[in-house]
Amino acid sequence: MTEKADQPGYGKERDVPLAKGPEVLPPPHPTRESKKTRAVVAFLGAALLFGPWAAYGLGARSQPVPGENRALAGRPQIDGFNTFNQITAYAADHFPLRDAAIRANKELINDVFSEPPSYFGSAGNQQVLFGQGKWLFFSDDFNKACSPEIQLDQVIAGVKRLNQMLADSGRRLIITVPPDKSTVESQYLPKAFELKQCSEIAKERRWKAIRSMGVPGYVDVRSAVEHQEKDKGKPAFLEYVTHWTQDSAVTFVEIVVKRIDPTLLEHTKVQAGQVYKENGDLDILANGPSPKPKFDFQAVYIVRDGVTPKLTEEPLAPQDGYTISHVTSTSAGAAALFQPRVTWIGDSFTQRALGHPSDGAGSSKIAPFFADLVRVPELTKAILANTAKNDLYHVARRRMIQEIVAGKVTVLELVERTFAGVGGLGSMFSDTKDARSGMDFLDELQVALDKAPQQ
């Protein structure tokens, strides 16, 4: 049974309090910019206005960007009032340096969220939805719900097939779906917004299907963090971050570990750590990076009696952020470790619970439970980091299959918007065939399992 450490401030994650000022402010003095300031502003304005057209004069042309999955708008035709719409679309698609701006936007979202934006290539969609008070939401929560790249029935059928494939080969599947922030904290959404109705309908249908999959290894982390939220009397997510709190990360790890082996929670306690400052990922996306971290976070640790966590990393593409993690913890005390080989496939929710060696192995919430675990990032991460030079997608896809075959237990964690919203080569449940192997992911995995011995 897990013990909660009796320490002041346990589990708190706070905003920096706002300073109180006078009730009445004196009238402001008129602002007088220096000539130098006015010159700089005028230069930047001219660069923004005329820079793209100067680039056009030098031969720059907008090109389709990988990931848009569409051709650029063609030249407008005379077609009544529809001509104006065609002109607008053509001008937006062929604006000089548009492709460079899209790539820069993609890289920012990749750095912040480690997942591809659904509006990649579209200037018409917002990246952050401003909710009530200080609450911010990632727009892909709604984009992926209203316009998924894969049918929900296909995702559920794929999960069932994966579970049966592993079971037939003597292996186990543990699967969990962290909810979107907007799913759990819906009370802080704006009263009305463009995708409100369609996303609500899609999310209700999505969760009904997920919870009725009938897969023995399904772990309902959504219900767990919702119960935690009620018990603690505070949100499971933070206003300015798309990921959940560290308390929720502990709940996530504990409920997954409990499904693997309930005895692993014995001789385990949760301790509050230091308070540190960090920028919020949604705040960065909405307002740009801040030179000084704005918000206070409370670290929370999982400590197990006699366990020495060990975490190492194996970069598959050192410059592109795709890294395999290895856990080889040891125990000299009462706490037992799970000994069979575990392959843990997961996105940034897993990464935040796992941590990095540079953070100190003791900061990992996953490492203290396992003697032999390999974490493989999800396929969308491989697509983001793929280049013609590193061919990372195929390297990562082969490695993921290799690690599933090598493991006794496979843990699959995918956040709601990715699990049910991403298709194509980014989903292991899609029927999209890889051009190189001529097979979809599950067919390719089946071939590898057929060649491997039973576990």
Domain region containing 426:
3-13+132-451
* Assigned domain for 297 exists: yes
Residue pointed to by tokens 């990393």: 313
| pTM of the shown model | 0.76
Please give the average per-residue pLDDT across 87-112, as a whole number.
54
* Assigned domain for 362 exists: yes
- What is residue 60's predicted lDDT score, i.e. its pLDDT? 59
Does 74 have pLDDT greater than 90? no
* Assigned domain for 236 exists: yes
Report the chain's terminal Cα–Cα distance, integer Å: 30
What is the bridge-based pairing of β-strands 268-278 and 373-377?
Answer: unpaired
Does 46 have pLDDT greater than 90? no
Any idea what DSSP says for residue 432? P
Strand partners, 141: none
- What is residue 213's predicted lDDT score, i.e. its pLDDT? 96
- Residue 113 host element (H or E): helix 98-113
HSE toward the beta carbon, residue 26, CA cutoff 13 A: 3
* Assigned domain for 58 exists: no
* Assigned domain for 84 exists: no
Give the percent of the chain with pLDDT over 70: 72
pLDDT digits (tens, 9 = 90+) for 127-172: 899 999 999 999 999 999 999 999 999 999 999 999 999 999 999 9
Please give the average per-residue pLDDT across 329-351, as a whole number.
97
* Assigned domain for 123 exists: no
* Assigned domain for 112 exists: no
* Domains: count for the chain: 1
* Assigned domain for 32 exists: no
- What is residue 320's predicted lDDT score, i.e. its pLDDT? 67
Any idea what DSSP says for residue 168? H
